[in-house]
Chains A and B, each alone.
Chain A
Amino acid sequence: MACPSNDQLLQLETTCGSLLYELQIIWDEVGESDTERDKMLLELEQECLEVYRRKVDQANRCRAQLRRAIADSEAELAAICSAMGEPPVHTRQSNQRAGSLKEELESITPQLEEMRKKKVERLNQFIEVIEQIRKISLEIMPSGCNPLKLAVDESDLSTRRLEDLYRQLELLQKEKSDRLKQVMDHLSSLNALCSVLGVDFKETLREIHPSLDDAEVSKCVSNATIERLATAIGRLREIKIERMKKLQDLASTMLELWNLMDTPIEEQQLFQNVTCNIAASEQEITEANTLSVDLLNYVEAEVLRLEHLKVRKMKELVLKKKTELEELQRRVHLVAEAENQEEFAISAIESGAIDATLILEQIEFQIATVKEEAFSRKDILERVEKWFGACQEEAWLEEYNRDENRYNAGRGAHLSLKRAEKARALVNKIPAIVETLAAKITQWEKERGIEFTYDGVHLLSMLEEYTIVRQEKEHERKRQRDQKRLQGQLIAEQEALYGSKPSPSKSQSAKKIPRTSAGCPSRRLSGATQPLKLDQLHSAKPVRSAKKTDDLGILSPGAKGADIAGLPVKKLTYNAMTTHQEVGMPRKPFAPILPVNNMPSTPSKHIVSTFEENKSPNVMLTPKNPMAAQAPMQVANTPVPPTCLFDQAVAKVVAPAEQTEDSFEERRLAFYLSR
């Protein structure tokens, strides 16, 4: 404490003195007692003392404050230093020399300030590092982050700790980058797989973790994510392998089918991208969409189409072969097997129940068998043709013989004559032909142990029947010749009863005893139409020399075959029963038709009912009876004595009931079915 300056003290003393002098004066004036005066002076002293005391206290307090401040600062500084791991900057001892308290404080304060700044800086660093660590830890292990561990420990702000933390951060950063790399690797394999399989890559990523697809956000690298990526990759790889196998199977099936069906190159090239991978391993397949669902479906559909095509072609082939077989059989007059078999085979192929190749083999075998049989049958078949030819000629000859005009010198008459000659010779040979044919057939049958069938009919039986029929005809002819004589007598009687009769034309009646040939070998089959029958029909047409219009004129060829009698037409023999029919009486032309009972009948429309059926219509054409003379139609004037008619009529009545003729539709159907 510096003493006040002398001047000031002097001044003060002066002032005090003057004040005291003044006081004395006042007291003197007042007349204050000495005690009073002393008392006042004492008070004055005391009061002054008080003031001094107060001032001193204040100064004391100041001094204590300073000391305290210094101590505080020193403590803080020490604390900071220790926290920061640095040697204490300021010690008391060193500062005692510094001087006064104020000086000391002055020197310690800036140091403190500095240290405080440093501490704050250090703390900030720590906070930063720890923040980063926390961030990365969160990224790596979102659930495993322990906030307590990452609190800043203010007691340890040393550089060593800071470096520790830095190192920790580095490790974490490295781990993160490793993981990121792993994720990126996974992403690239996933991308490759998705591209091959035609799966949406971005969608897949988003399913695993949204951040993976987002370019803005850094990718999640948690364990869970990486695991999920790995699983996804595994799954897709499995799918890829599965599809690859399937595609390769399909491709090899396709190649087989192409090979089988000779598919053109252009079609095959459409699937180049598929077949090139047929032997690839999983790794080799890397092109986009080579294993997509669409592609697989496409290829599958194509394979299905090819297989259907194959079945169709097989069917066609089978049908073709079948027709070939049938054709072969038809040519050698072997009856084909039931149609049901064919339909059965087709439906079986379609349903896949039976391998078409098997059926083909069967048919091929059958074809070979038939060919072999054909060879053995050739000779006999040729002879049969010869026999048919002979019968045909025989039939023609009969027609020819009935033709009245045959000796007229018309066009072609000489040709007919020649033909007739040849025909007669041929006819005589018929028995011989038949015999040798029968012998050959018997031999064949013996060698083979089975019957020789011709269009399903036992040929030998056919021949036997034919022979029998022929013999019967011969008998018939003889009989008629005898009966003609009888008729001659009857006519004479009738003449006596009914008046004149037209003169008989003997030539016709004599020769025209129905020498219907056996026609054609009667067939038990209804289906066989022999061309020679038609021949007969045609040749029968121009036979008569009619002088008048007669409703017994020539029937149109079609009409002849059906339920006709009284006309010298070969009846078409479509069933075995018709053998008797042929004996049926071609009616002599221009002959009046008499009723059996020889009565002049009123034109009775119902006379037909007296006879069994229309096999004897010749008798029923009563209106033609010239004796009744009532027929409105013009009747011939040169009729033949009805002797033969009578015979025929009698014979007719005697004949057993026969079947009626077929209609055109029945014949047509029979022909249709035999084709």
Chain B
Amino acid sequence: MSAATLPATGGRELSNPPSDGISNLRFSNHSDLLLVSSWDRSLRLYDAGADALKGEFAHAGPVLDCCFHDDSSGFSACSDHMVRRFVFGSGKEDILGRHDAPVRCVEYSYATGQVITGSWDKTLKCWDPRGASGPDHALVGTYPQPERVYSLSLVGHRLVVATAGRHVNVYDLRNMSQPEQRRESSLKYQTRCVRCYPNGTGFALSSVEGRVAMEFFDLSEAAQAKKYAFKCHRKSEAGRDTVYPVNAIAFHPIYGTFATGGCDGYVNVWDGNNKKRLYQYSKYPTSIAALSFSRDGRQLAVASSYTFEEGDISHEPDTIFVRNFAGRTQLRSSCLLLRFRFVLDV
């Protein structure tokens, strides 16, 4: 693969990164605030533009996911089974509710005003953050899943849940009693990450086997004919392929292109419609744990943090890079210059 590697640094490195693995990071929908959840049991709020740590919120155990409510508050999913809400300015925290096992994912739906969490207790729960006293008053509903929930993604009224055992459930948030679709991942290996397209027509799935599948909600023949999968984040040396898990997918909010990050330490940017890889950033110190685009798509936050794929080994320190994302014109010219490689897996 001789796709062009864009030069320069991995981006600005943020100061005061977490002291242990980064489980997820998110840009706010309203500003350059960045919320970072970490295995060092902290939830951190950064101002990415100013490179300043604005707040740090301690938890009882590793924090596995986080998301914004708005610029003044956010939610955390913690391994101590609790879902919490934090008000950043005052540091006030309250427990929204609890699961029976570590909470793996948390999302906030602007469409319904609800918080949705997925846990290893094989359930999905919806919470109303305005729910008053007591955790159980905030609980809107519990929806059993076939297996432990590994990843969640929302777009509009649709929710996609990826679980262990390669199950994929698609829900309509307006009617959660039954999944809208029960599917199985078209990839043969454990699902790492699922992300919906910003245009709401489908979702992307990544697995531990260096592969990404592009799927569509519309079950008609015509729509399903468009789906495909491709290989990525693999290294070929001496004729042998080494295959890496793809930990993170992030869609550009405007262009619809997307970036993937893998355990090989690389971030690739793809054009899904044309089935091309646009470019690859230079290798990061260690595995890419999470990716997030800013609201205007001009910045991409990259969490370079070992994701424990080889167990407890020594690794590079966990860092957060924020890099400027190429503008459209630059994108076009790089497309022209690049040879593209894209292997289709039928």
Residues of A within 8 A of B (CB): 529, 533-534, 537-538, 541, 544, 546-551, 553-559, 561-564, 603, 605-606, 608-609, 613-614, 617, 620-621, 623, 630, 632-633, 660-669, 671-672
Contacts and interface: CB of A to CB of B under 8 A. Distances in A.
A66 B164 CA distance: 157
B241 A553 contact: yes
A541, A551, A664 interface centre (most CB from chain B within 10 Å): A664
A554 B345 contact: no
Contact of A557 (B150, B165, B241, B310): B310
B107 interface: no
A548 B150 CA distance: 33
Contacts of B210: 556, 559
Contacts of A541: 242
B256 to A, nearest CB: 24
Contacts of B242: 541, 553-556
B190 A614 contact: yes
Contact of A563 (B190, B211, B344): B190
B219 interface: no
Interface in B205-245: 208-211, 231, 234, 236, 239-245
Given A549-B239, A609-B184, A558 B189 contact: no
Contacts of B186: 605-606, 608
B344 A664 contact: no
A664 B309 contact: yes
B102 A669 contact: yes
B239 A556 contact: no
Given A555-B242, A608-B188, A623-B346, A537 B310 contact: yes
B308 interface: yes
Contacts of B309: 556-559, 561, 664
The 8 A-B pairs at the shortest CB distance, nearest first, are namely A558-B309, A553-B241, A563-B190, A668-B308, A556-B244, A559-B208, A557-B310, A660-B165
Interface residues of B, number: 49
Contacts of A564: 189, 208-209
A590 to B, nearest CB: 12
B327 interface: no
Given A665-B308, A669-B62, A556 B190 contact: no
Given A556-B264, A608-B184, A533 B239 contact: no
Contact of A529 (B120, B209, B243, B311): B311
Nearest to B209: A559
Contacts of B104: 665
B74 to A, nearest CB: 20
A613 B310 CA distance: 24
Contacts of A547: 239
Contacts of B310: 534, 537-538, 557-558
Given A559-B209, A665-B104, A603 B189 contact: no
A558 B190 contact: no
Interface in B297-346: 307-313, 343-346
A64 B307 CA distance: 153
23 contacts: A529-B311, A534-B310, A534-B312, A548-B239, A556-B309, A558-B308, A559-B245, A563-B208, A603-B346, A609-B184, A617-B188, A633-B345, A661-B164, A661-B190, A664-B308, A664-B309, A665-B23, A665-B104, A665-B308, A668-B62, A669-B62, A671-B308, A671-B312
